[in-house]
Amino acid sequence: MSYMLTLLIMLPISIALMSPLLLKFLGYRVVVIINSISLLLPGVLGFTYLLLMGSNTVLIEVLCVIKGIGTFAFLLDYLNLPILLSISIVTASVCIYSIPYMKHRFKEMLDEGEEAPGWSIYLMLYTLFSSSMLGIAASTNIIEFYLFLELSLIPSFLLIALYGYGDRRRIALMYFVWTHIGAQLFLIGSLIYGMSTGSFDFYSVTLGRPLVGFGEYLPGRLAETASILMVLGLFFKMAVLGMHFWLPYAHAQAPTPVSALLSPNLIGLAGYGILRIVITLFPNITYSFSTSLMILSIATIIYGGLLALRQDDFKRLLAYSSISQMGYILLGISSFTIIGFTGAILHYLSHAVGKALLFMAAGVFITEHHGLRSISRMGGFAASYPYLFALTLFGVMSLTGLPPSSCLISKFLIIAGISSVIIKMGLTSMIILSIAVIVGIGLTLGYTFWTIKRIFFGPISLKNHTNTNPYFTITMTIIALLGLISFLYPKPFVDFLQTYLQNILGGHE
C-alpha cells in the first residue's frame, strides 16, 4: 500500500492535465468517464482501506521535507475520511452529470453569439478544481494546505468566467478577489505561526499525531494574532455572516456543475480547516472566544434562512441556503466538544449530498426548460418528474435532518454538543440561545419544504415536460446513496471519529 494515497490524489491532477491530449484520440464522453473514475478512487479506496485496517488506522505518506517549512505529506484518518469520501463521490458524479449539461451550455452560448472553450478546457479546469479539494483535505502542513487552497481558486474562477451566466466575468472577479483576501489573511496568520516555530506543520509525521496546542508556545500576543487571522481568513472562504457577500453571486451565476461543487464541497473545507488546523494548534485560545463563535454561527443560520425565503431564483435560494448550512458546521465547532466536532464533520457530508442534489435538480430545469430558474414559474412537476422529485426530496431531507438521511445524525450531534454548553450558561442566555437555535432550524424546514411545494405541487405552470436525461438521474442517485449509506452505517463517521478525536484531543476538549 506504499504511496497509495499519494498516487490516488495525484492521479486526477495528471488526468486533468492530459485531458486536452486524450480528447484528440477519444470521444469527450470517454474522457469524462476517465476523469470521473480518477476522482472517485481516492475517497472510495481510502474508505475501504480504513475499514479493513481498523478503527485506529492512520495512513501518512511523506512527499518531501523542506527546511524551515516542514514536511509535506498526505494524511488519511477518520477526521478527513468523510470529507474525502464526499468530495470524491460528488465530484465524480457531477463530472458525468456535466455531459448533457455542458453540451446544452455550449449550444446556449453559441446561440447567444459567444464561443467559450470546449470540452478540453472545461474538463481540465473541472478536474483540477476537484482534485485540489482532495489535496486540501489530505494536507498535513499549512503551506501545503494553502497551496491546494489557491489551486482550487484558479480553476473555479476560470470556470465561472468562461462558462457562467449573466455578468459572469465581473462575478468571477468578485469571487476571486474576496476569497483571495480570505486566503491572504489565513496566510499572514500562518506565517506568524510558522516563522515563530520554524515549521508550518500542524500534523507531526514523526509522532503520528496532530500538534495539539503547539501554536500556543508563541511569545507575547503572537499566538492570539495568528489564530484570529487564520480564523478570519477561513471565514471568508466559508462565507460566514459578514464575509458572505460574494457567495450568492458566484454560486448562482456559475454553471450548475460548478455550483454543485462550490457550495457543498469547497466552502465546507474552510470549516474543516478551522477544526483541523486552528483549533488543533490553538485549542485554549480558540476556546476563549467560543461564545462569540456560537453567536456568529446562529446568526449565520438565521440570516441565510431568512434570505433564502425571499428568493425566487432557485439557484440563488440554494446559495443563501449554503450560508445557513455553514452556520450549522460552525455551530458544532463552536461547542468545543467531541460530539459537536463529530456532528460538524458529518454535516459536511450531509450538506454535500443534499446541496449537490438540489443544485443538480436546478440544472435539470435549466437544461430542459430553456434556462428556467424562477420558482414562481414552476409548479406541478411531481407528476412529470416523479423520480427527480424523489431525489430532490432526499436532498431536502439531507439539509433538514429527516430520516433516512445522515443529516438526522449530524444535526442531533451538533445540537447535543451545543446543548451541553448552553445548559451551563445563565438562565437568560440559555433561553435566548435555545430559542435562536430553534428559530434557525425552523427556517431551514420552512424555506426547503416551501420550495419543494412550489416547484413540484400546485397547478401545472409549464407544459410539454420532457423525460429527465438518464445522465442526470443516475448521477443524482449515486450521490443520494452516499447519504443513505452513511445513515444506515454511521459507525465510521460517528463512533470511529469520536474515538479518534478523543485520542488526539484528550484533555484539550
Around 230, how many Cα atoms within 13 Å sit in the side-chain half-sphere? 32
Nearest alpha-carbon partner for 317 in 449, 174, 199? 449
Phi (first) and psi of residue 354, to 5 degrees: -65, -45
For residue 509, the model assigns a pLDDT of 56
- % of the chain exceeding 90 in pLDDT: 84
Comparing C-alpha atoms, which of 247, 253, 257 is closest to residue 165?
Answer: 253
Annotate 56-83 with b (16+ C-beta within 10 A) or e (fewer): ebbbbbebeeeeebbbbbbbbbbbbbbb
pTM of the model: 0.95
DSSP, res 64: E
433 Cβ contact partners less than 8 Å away, ≥ 6 residues apart: 294, 295, 298, 422, 425
User: Are residues 148 and 132 in contact, defined by beta-carbon separation less than 8 angstroms?
Assistant: yes
CA–CA separation, 112 vs 106, rounded Å? 10
Q: What is the pLDDT of residues 206-256, one digit of tens each?
A: 888 999 999 998 988 999 999 999 999 999 999 999 999 999 999 999 999
Cell of 462: 409549464
pLDDT at position 243 is 92
Torsion on CA atoms 89, 94, 100, 101, rounded to nearest 10: 170
CB contact at 8 A, 123 and 16:
yes
Q: Tell me the pLDDT tens digit for each residue of 381-399.
A: 988 899 999 999 999 999 9
Angle between helices 119-138 and 142-163 (to 10 degrees): 150
Domain boundaries along the sequence of the chain: 4-508
**Dist. CA 82–CA 88, nearest whole Å:** 10
- pLDDT band for position 504 (50/70/90)? confident
Report the pLDDT value the prediction gives residue 158, as an integer from 0 to 100: 96
Percentage, residues of the chain above pLDDT 70: 98
Contact by Cβ (8 Å): 262, 250: yes
pLDDT at 399: 95
DSSP reduced 3-state for 52: helix
Determine the number of helices (DSSP H) and then strands (DSSP E) in the chain.
Answer: 21, 4
Task: Give residue-wise pLDDT tens across range 250-279.
Answer: 999 999 999 999 988 999 999 999 999 999
Distance CA 123, CA 127 (A): 6
Q: What is the 3 state secondary structure string of 233-271?
A: HHHHHHCCCCCCCCHHHHHHHCCHHHHHHHHHHHHHHHH
pLDDT digit string (tens) for 471-484? 999 999 999 999 99
Q: Residue 70 has what DSSP assignment?
A: E
DSSP for 322-389, written as a single string = HHHHHHHHHHHHHTTSHHHHHHHHHHHHHHHHHHHHHHHHHHHHHHHTTS--BGGG---HHHH-HHHH
Cell numbers describing residue 334: 463552536
SS3 208: coil
Identity of the residue numbered 347: H
Residue 505's pLDDT band (cuts 50, 70, 90): confident
pLDDT at residue number 1: 47
Chain-centroid distance of CA 104 in Å reads: 26
